[in-house]
Amino acid sequence: MSHDVLSRRDFLGTGSLLLASLLLPQAGSASKPKKLTYKIAVVDLMILKRQKLGALQLTKDIGADGVELDMGGLGQRETFDNQLANPEIRQQFIDKARELNLEICSLAMTGFYAQSFATRPTYERMVQDCFDTMRALGVKVAFLPLGTQGDLRRNPELRPAIVERLRVVGRLAQKAGVVVGIETALDATGEVALLKEIGSKHIQIYFNFSNPLKEGRDLHQELRILGRKRICQMHATDEDGVWLQNNPRLDMQKVKQTLADIGWQGWLVIERSRDATDPRNVKRNFGANTAYLKSVFQG
């Protein structure tokens, strides 16, 4: 396989020019691409198909280009309840994705939304299990939310432990050749400082549009502060209530211009923005949001 093919696949699979520079040989200085490329994905957990093979057909029916798969529940287990660790099940996902011409854009460790990344004694095993699954699936981005227990605004005393653990994760990610996108409760300036403290190019930000919006911060300024090299992927939705096209506080055309200004391209992953009057109608909600994002970013 040629370097050109590898470069395009790895580049689009991460949404980060930085990851391409980490994984592939560079031929001199690169200029900002003339045409930025975006792909649209949905989250298997949020389309109610967590680690279910049917998530792939539903993703295709919704009209998305790919899916973010979850690592499974965590609870008080030593590691995730990961069905994809089974080679037979994993191969079914690989074969089905190939059949439907879909990509698995990322693996999500959503168990850490409720569990404490700062205190769980087996966090290294959990993360390594994720990396092993990523390698088997050919996935380059992991999503790691610090969650409610890892909220560094409310629990600043956890910062030393979280930083030290993320340094460990960064070393493991470097060895695995992947990037971990973290979601925090900090603003963009705080996240820049956190990334500098961690000091690993393999730890980046998985940006969520909803976070600055619900806190009354300027989404576009946050994107500019972080810049393209610190953002590996994006959850490109807001809180539930209305579809993206009907959201008065989220101007997607302006978002597109901001992303162009900073030179970011990659996966835009739909997490929420469900219609409050019909929240469990998966195909209707995610189909509408997918069609809208495609009209803006792929039209």
pLDDT digits (tens, 9 = 90+) for 26-40: 443 445 556 899 999
Residue with the larger pLDDT of the pair 46 and 5: 46
Instruction: Using a pLDDT cut of 90, give the percent of the chain over it.
Output: 87
Q: What is the pLDDT of residues 96-134, one digit of tens each?
A: 999 999 999 999 999 999 999 999 999 999 999 999 999
pLDDT at 91: 98
Distance CA 279, CA 240 (A): 8
Q: Residue type at 87?
A: P
Place 59 in a pLDDT band, splitting at 50, 70 and 90.
Answer: very high
Q: Is the pLDDT of residue 286 over 80?
A: yes
Mean pLDDT is lowest, of 14-18, 46-50, 96-100, for 14-18
Task: Count other Cβ atoms within 10 Å, centred on residue 216.
Answer: 7
**Residue 205 has which token pair?**
């930000």
What is the reported pLDDT for 203? 98
Q: What is the pLDDT of residue 179?
A: 98
In terms of Cβ atoms closer than 10 Å to its own Cβ (0-12, 13-18, 19+), residue 60 is: middle
Strand pairing of 203-208 and 231-235?
parallel
What is the maximum span of the chain, computed from C-alpha positions, in angstroms?
53
Is the predicted pLDDT of residue 199 greater than 90, yes or no? yes
pLDDT for residue 3 is more than 80: no
Mean pLDDT of 194-201: 98
Cross-strand pairs, 208: 235
Using DSSP's 3-state secondary structure scheme, residue 228 falls into: helix
Pure H helices in 3-108: 3-12, 17-23, 54-62, 87-100
Residue 285: predicted pLDDT: 98
Quick check: pTM over 0.75? yes
What is the mean predicted confidence (pLDDT) over 54-76? 97
CA dist 82 and 60 (Å) reads 23
Exposure class string for 189-200: b at 16+ Cβ within 10 A, else e: eebbebbeebeb
pLDDT in tens, 144-188: 999 999 999 999 999 999 999 999 999 999 999 999 999 999 999
Helix pair angle (87-100, 54-62), 10° resolution: 20
The percent of residues in the chain predicted with pLDDT above 70, rounded, is 89
- What token pair was written down for 151? 């909220």
| Domain extents in the chain | 3-20+35-297
User: Pick from 232, 267, 259, 203: which is nearest to 33 by CA?
Assistant: 259
Whether 6 has a pLDDT exceeding 70, the answer reads no
List the one residue out of 96, 138, 148 whose CA is nearest residue 117. Answer: 148
Please state, in angstroms and as integers, the Cα–Cα distance from residue 248 to each residue in 212, 242, 244, 245, 258, following that order: 15, 9, 9, 8, 17
Average pLDDT of the chain? 91
Sign, Cα dihedral of 190, 192, 196, 198: positive
The CATH number for 3-20+35-297, chosen from 3.10.180.10, 3.40.50.980, 3.20.20.150, 3.60.110.10, is: 3.20.20.150
Say yes or no to pLDDT of 18 above 60. no
Cα 290 from Cα 65, distance rounded (Å): 9
